Amino acid sequence: MKTIGRILRIAYTVGVLAAFAASFPLFSHAWAQDSARDFIREIKLFDTVAHYVRMSYVTEVDATELIHDAIRGMLSGLDEHTAFLEADDFRLLLNDTEGSFGGLGIEISVTPEDDTLTVMNVLEGTPAERAGLRARDKIIEIEGESTKGITTREALLKMRGEPGTDLAIGIARVGFADQLDFTITREIIHIDSVPYYFMASDDVGYVRISNFSRDEERSTSKDATKALEELREQGMKKFILDLRGNPGGPLDEAVALASLFLKKKELVVYTGGRSERWEERKYFVKDKPEFGGEPFVILIDGSSASASEVFTGAIKDHKRAVVMGEKSFGKASVQTLIPLASSADADPGPGLKITIAYYYTPDGQLIDGEGIAPDVELEPEEVSLILGKLFAEGYFRIYAEQYHDAHGASALSDFEADPAAFDEFVAWVEERDLDFYPEGYAETLPDDGRQFYLGAMRREEEQLTRMLRRELIREMEGDAAAYRYWRQDDPWIARAVEELS
């Protein structure tokens, strides 16, 4: 069956693209015509193999599964960003790229300590906040169905929907014996691409840009403008734009953000592809910059990708700012989303995400695969293995929640004033038998390696205490306060402030 599937994956998908190329203007007519003979041959091959599988294979095969496997097989030989998406994944991607969707306004995750769907954060001004949902609520039912064993992605698909429609969820909350039932009306939830900004020094502002997005009311460029204007009022003369970990977003928002800092008519980016539509498209600054004078630094790392690389490449080529950090990811290609269902279908059905062009910086550098090199290279902050393990298993978050429950409004001050606070945390971890080492390896160590990881905790006391303090601040004051605290000792921000001094 594997051999047959491999043949089908090669042959069928070639045929699918042949038919698709003839009907969609993305591909040039000449390209389709030149390749028609090869396509016809491969279509015949696929038809022959499909016939034998249908008539002769030992068991009946599912046609949809077989064909979808064939499509995925062909696309697997192309770049990693080209993919066939089933209906649910395609719908989720459409929502994400639009920058808004009908939802409740909560961030959710399946927490590792109890394998339950948990509300991690409730966004301000959203239906969830107005309904009274809280962080740490356990979502045990969605529309009357148990969430036991559900994944975060599956939960998102169930909870997102058309604005104006209702969603019924059941909640388990600490302190309440019975399930709490909520019926919440979905609304457009705006993605905040500029979640944090503050003064990093007396005259240096700091703006975090977590992604690029756009909807009818908000956009990355508008949110950045608002942040920088407010920081100007607070005395900002220079600033830092932090794009570390920024995965990108719409191209026009990268152009719009660059246009805040570059001169009118300067080139931001251009694309190159095989089709006539994408062979070469240039994007220029259309208006005078709103922040054309202040010096600034851009921070990037190995996870900065796509639109963040387009923006950074333009700023760097025009020598408008100093780029600091690590070489960026190197994903700067143009994808288009193509619905594959009939236009008569109400549901979008499956879809194709396909790469059609590459981005180039104003100086002609191909970004894809190459990335943007910083002007000043910085070493990433080292995270100890024990910190990473404790964080991944939710230990800091759980301890902060329990400590806050026990101490109330004075939790943070009590933690700061207690000289035994860290010892208590170590003892708490020890009680829970942390699986720090793989099971087979742990058995070769004295006491299953317990004293080794407890010793590691002692050696990393300062870093672990800082993380505990961050989680307590998050628990009591919210994400923004926790983020600002964590960034106070960020060596990259400190180096950027030094660069601007």
* Beta partners for residue 300, in sequence order: 325
Q: Which of 301, 317, 328, 353 is catalytic?
A: 317
**Phi and psi torsions of 440, nearest 5°:** -65, -40
- Which residue in this structure is represented by tokens 């279908």? 345
Nearest to residue 425, comparing CAs of 408, 405, 456, 403? Answer: 403
Helix (H, G, I), strand (E, B) or coil at 147: coil
Are 287 and 260 spatial neighbours (Cβ–Cβ below 8 Å)?
Answer: no
237 carries an active-site annotation: no
* Beta partners for residue 269, in sequence order: 283
Q: Which of 238, 316, 331, 353 is catalytic?
A: 331
Q: DSSP assignment, residue 114?
A: T
**Identity of the residue numbered 335:** Q
d(C-alpha 427, C-alpha 411), whole Å: 18
What string of DSSP letters covers 14-52? Answer: HHHHHHHHHH-TTS-HHHHHHHHHHHHHHHHHHHHHHHH
d(C-alpha 327, C-alpha 343), whole Å: 43
Tokens matching residue 352: 């194709």
Residue 29 zone, left/alpha/beta (φ > 0; ψ -120 to 50; rest): alpha
Nearest to residue 465, comparing CAs of 401, 430, 418? Answer: 418
Q: Which of 100, 221, 304, 306 is catalytic?
A: 306
- Which residue in this structure is represented by tokens 């709103």? 290
44 carries an active-site annotation: no
Tokens matching residue 482: 């926790």
**Burial of 63: CB neighbours in 10 Å, binned 0-12, 13-18, 19+:** exposed
Write the CB contacts of 6 (distance below 8 Å, at least 6 apart in sequence). Answer: 73
331 carries an active-site annotation: yes
Instruction: Please give the helix or strand (H or E) that residue 26 lies within, else none.
Output: none
Instruction: Please give the helix or strand (H or E) that residue 469 lies within, else none.
Output: helix 461-477
Are 135 and 119 spatial neighbours (Cβ–Cβ below 8 Å)?
Answer: yes
d(C-alpha 221, C-alpha 218), whole Å: 9
Question: Which residues are marked as active site?
Answer: 306, 317, 331
